[in-house]
Structure 1
Amino acid sequence: MTIQSEETIFLEAIALPAEQRAEFVRHQCRNDPELRRRVEQLIAAHERQGDILDVALGETVIGQSATVDAGEDIGPYRLLQKLGEGGFGVVFMAEQRHPVRRKVALKVIKPGMDSKSVIARFEAERQALAMMDHPNIARVFDGGSTVDGERPYFVMELVKGVPIVEFCDTNSLTTAERLRLFISVCNAVHHAHQKGVIHRDIKPSNVMVTLHDGEPVVKVIDFGVAKALHQRLTEKTLFTQYGMMVGTPQYMSPEQAEMSGLDVDTRSDIYSLAVLLYELITGTTPLQAESLRKATGYQDLQRMICEDEPVVPSQRLSTSGQQLTILAKHRRVSPERLPREIRGDLDWIVMKGLEKDRRRRYDSASDFAADVQRALDLEPVLAGPPSQVYRLKKFVLRNRAAVLAVTAAVVVLGAILFALVDGRNHRLARQRQDEVRLTNAVDEATSALVAAVDAELTDDRWTSAEFTVSRVRELMQGATAGVAAVDRARVFLDRYELARRDQQFTLAMEELLINRGTNQDLSSWITVERELRKILRDRGYDVDLLSPVELGKRVRDDPSMLQLTDALELWLDARRQVAALGGEAVPSEEIVAWVDGMNIADPKPFRSALRKLVFETVPPEPEFLALAIAENDLAATCSRKLSWLAQAYQLVGNNRRAFEIQAFALSRHPGDLLLNFEYATRQMNEQDWDEAIRYYLRCTAIRPNISGVWRSLAEAYRNNNETEAADHALDVAARLERAAQ
């Protein structure tokens, strides 16, 4: 039997109808009366106060913070009114007073709920939202802690809307209008998936609709139970434990309900989207609340979700009795016509999304949206059977006026031609099917690659990418897909291999610089210089054999030119560090030669100017730097060059501007390890221990397996008189170093 924690059992219990909780707790805690007593206390508190995520087994509360309420200030935000509260957070409407004045939503942990596990989940939600930039997802603007420093908060876009189903019914949206809104929801969810985040609780109350210039706009909110697809959302995230149900049962996929060893992936959200579409169409969910309340126990609830087949939407409408009249009125259509609108395409689309076997659902939310769009455009949908009669029916619907005008002779001729081309169409249909499968596989693999590019090679996101790439390779063998589809797949595979190579190259440099470069002694910097030299040699660029000019010309033609130029810059900087600490000197003419070689490889004026300033081959004149910046778009500048830009401003004596550039770089590249590490180190130099800790923690979230980050974090904790936390960070560093031996 799996050993479950107090928190796990509690969360599973409150996901059940109230009348089933006692039986479930008795079953789960049958061999542990003390555990049962604690869980029952949590449930009693939950039923008194609403949804509450309390303290996990053996965990102590960090602090009993004072209550915050309307009229109070948190940082630059004045709390105006409480909008609502969930399991562990309270949401306020607030007014931001500077640097801009605007209404925002501010979410802060409830008083007394600031346990380590709650803070981890809270920060996971903030980071999940911060990773995304999509018009249909509520944006995060800011984050911080309350004055006592114990309760984190984050500030997000204020969504003044109503749940999508309520909006559609209140405004009597037609079926087509509902489908267009649903497509926006799919696009938002697909964006989250591309960022490596699964929502896990898609339901009407988490999909709000607001009006912008009189047009309805969808906003997906509440990533409070979001799960990282293949990454840690935060260094303190408590991963969903084995045997822990998370989500809302009516909208929950079978794999979420099973709580088995099978990990939940993006297709779980596809299922929940299909439930949402079902409700938009029929006014109810496939598994109705009345049925859930009749479940005889926890296991019966699981069985219903995993085994009960849903009624086809059009059939659900046809058998809804008097309710059909109300549903039809809300959709501005007659009761007789509403089921006919749904029958066929929309039935097929919804039922494909509701497949119990996730392998039979849509591969992505974008595929789901595309099929709904095909239904709106009266085109054949992928979810429907590709029979000749079906395709002919679609043609007639799209061209009704023309078909009615044709003569009987044309009909006869069409029948003859239809018979002649039927065999050929079968072959084309198979080719088209293979093309669609290959195209979808390439799209899925591309999304997986996008999610993986910021991860280390041992991260599960690379495992996911490798799996999807293997599907592409498999489909390319023996398939009848057209040349264009196959060529596109080959181009993708080439891109994938290049990304793998570049990622391994970049990660090797990052780990080296942090693990070795944190020690500012001569021996460490000699090691850094030698290992950077080896990294370049392994990529075919031996700085001992090639002249700067020859190497620059070769790097210029390499698809990975920017990464290679970064490596050369870091290597030359390491040589300067060695010389500054008393090691082998680097003649100024040699530095000039290597800078010229790098400028051959990467001749962009802005980056060339930065190199000349950083390596001091030109006088540090502010005018020279200002001119270079004026001619370039900083927002489009890569993270490394923004870091060099901050260093260049330091060299010309403008520390304030250097700090601004560094902060701007972090806002543009929040997941860049070296940027966060450099910023944290800068805060250490400024003796701002809290800020240093914050950014070192971000580094551990980005790359948790680099011992140098943990050692730096330990130093920051110790300077901040947090001895226990410092000892823990040192212990993590030591374990990582032992594992690497």
Structure 2
Amino acid sequence: MSGWSFTGSHSEELQAVFLEALEFCDAEREQFLLHRCQKSPELLQQVRELLSAGDRPSILDQQLPEAVLAQSLLAGGMAQARFGHWQVRRLLGHGGMGSVYLAEQEQPVQRLAALKLIQLGQESDESLWRFQQEQQVLARLSHPHIAGLIDAAVQPSGVSWLAMEYVDGRQLTDWCRARGCDLRERLRLFLQCCEAVRHAHQNAIIHRDLKPSNILVADTREGPMVKVIDFGIARILDESQDSQRTPSRRTRAGFLPGTPQYMSPEQLCGEIPVDIRTDVYSLGVVLYVLLTGSEPHISENRGSSLSRMSLLQAVLDQDPALPSQRVLQQSSAGGADDTARLLARRLRGDLDAIVLKAMARERDRRYQSVAELMSDLQCHLSDQPILARPDSWWYRLRRRILRNRGLVSALAAVFLALSIGILLADRQRQRAVDSEMRLKLRNYCADLLLASLALDDGDTANAVAALDRQRETSDARELDSLEFRLLSYLSAARVNQLAAERQALYYCCLISGGRWLATCGQGGELLVLDTASGKLLHRIPSGQGELNGLSVSPDGQRLAVFGDDGTVSIRDARSLTELHRFKAHGAQVWQGAWSPDGSMLATCGNEKGVRLWETATFKAAGSIDSSVDLECLTASTSGRLAIGGERSTLLLAGFPGSSAADNERQEVQSGTAWLGRYFNLGTVSFSPDGQLLAAGEQGAGLRLLRLDATEGAVVSRQFPDTVTAVAYAPDGRTLAVGLADGTLGTISTEAVHNPGLQLQLTAILNGESFPS
């Protein structure tokens, strides 16, 4: 151009307006100039003259002979042009700063490269700086998805060139369109592009010109391979290195590098320094185009591109249509088809949110790195929740269902089959229910009749068994009927249960002031329970075989345990640790009792007679003879001994030195008015005042005897099983009862003072149990 230079008072503004005007087509340029120069007619005239002069040849258009030769080689004699080891084969394309050619190297290895040259006649400081900048950027990068630098040099003629990896492929959008790629395939290719950009960011490089034409896809043996190219306007974030090569702002004033349709708002404004989020925005636009086939901001004239001014206004002020909406808008022009509706459904939700978050106008609302964008895309592909969408429970449930489609489908099929089966079986179920109800009613009536007849015959065990069967099978309404409650009362079938052991319990006694209940039996273990809660506190193996009896010393400090091996174990009544063990009988030791002062211990075993032991040394101190084998014994607070044996024999005697010892020894034989039946006595216990004696029989009977009476038992009671253990509470008003079936319970003894009353059951502890 002749006669013009950018000097004078308005040179910077003139240069800026002139360079901006060059970006517009002829149809839009005049509208831009009128708007831009409306306050300065002189500036408008100067810019018009510059534009007009640019169309005429001038002295500056005449090139030096060396440059003319190089240009002719490139334009017409490509087969003969060489740059270093590279021989040019053909032109690949033109760019803003130069041209790109396919070149081949034959030595030292044969390979192809993309050779980039600065356009002849445009070797300005700006273009040279950008050319060198691209060389430095590519030297920093080494990634499989980036077309890397191979070689670079400056010809003697002054032509600068770069040899880069040649990518024999098509741009991303064209490749996907030609191959008919589905949504998931497109996203996987886009993720390869993101990996390349992330690598650049990790090396402090911003691409600033990401668009489909700079993202190529080549076919390789491993499959489609994405390559990012053209780092011509890339920026190095390390200012300490960048500033050494950057030309002055005056030289670059008015220049706006990049492709406007893919530029972020901060790039278009040119006021805010760009950062990695600028590339995130461009990637969002590329993804928008890849998914919809359309740019985000288009004119209303059937999807054509906007002018630069309109584009700038749209990017800064308007949100683009959702990708799912854009697909439907494009298809509605020619009639919406099923393919477009299906694609819109797949875009709706996650992908809409991901694209709009990447393209947010405010940088702080975008993904803060390419890694975040990649993470959301990978989460979408694996049906995981994404960052861009609200974290609601319904959204998470939907993603979980999508991740487990097979399992959910199987469960749905199973549920459907079950539903059909339930509906088909409803009639049969109702018939079965009716039949079961009739059967339950017949069984209920039969068991109540059996319980009534058993009570008439005095057979309490069978009555209890019949009523227990109904407790397990009948509902609350039947159990609350008058007849059932009456029979339950008459049978007194429910002693208040403390424990349920899977072994026969032979003996029990209260220790620790009545707070604990100690018991033993067939299992050979000493069991200690809390009487208030029924909780098992201790389970102590004895090593004595079966345990037949227990006895607490008068001071409550020691507990004697009698075993099947003929030994007696003396234990601390609080800690339950063993203090002493001695051999008392040749075979089993059934039971024993302490003297009132605790100085002697009486024991009986599977033989005739009772043995006495000094408790200081546990040496023999005497014996009491009997005519029958003995089963049990107990002592009153006055020193009186009651010893039970075979054939309902009861032997009364006393410890040596006690007041009871002066009384005549008594032995009541079977067949007397007291007992009247021929069962062995298995357990006996004095009341605290010594006036009453509880005697348990192997025939499931319990007798309460007044010792000064002459007409037999005060009261008798039948239980479901053999009474194997009895013990009075310290106040004498409660009696603990152990049965051979493992049941422990308590009953009130107030009725014994009124011979006309039947013995009543009182609810003290109810339903507590411990494991066996």
TM-score (normalizing by structure 2): 0.47
Q: Which has the higher helix share?
A: 1
TM-score (normalizing by structure 1): 0.49
Q: Which has the higher strand share?
A: 2
Q: Choose between structure 1 and 2 for higher RCO, CA contacts under 8 A separated by at least 6 residues.
A: 1
Kindly name which structure, 1 or 2, has the bigger radius of gyration based on alpha carbons. Answer: 2
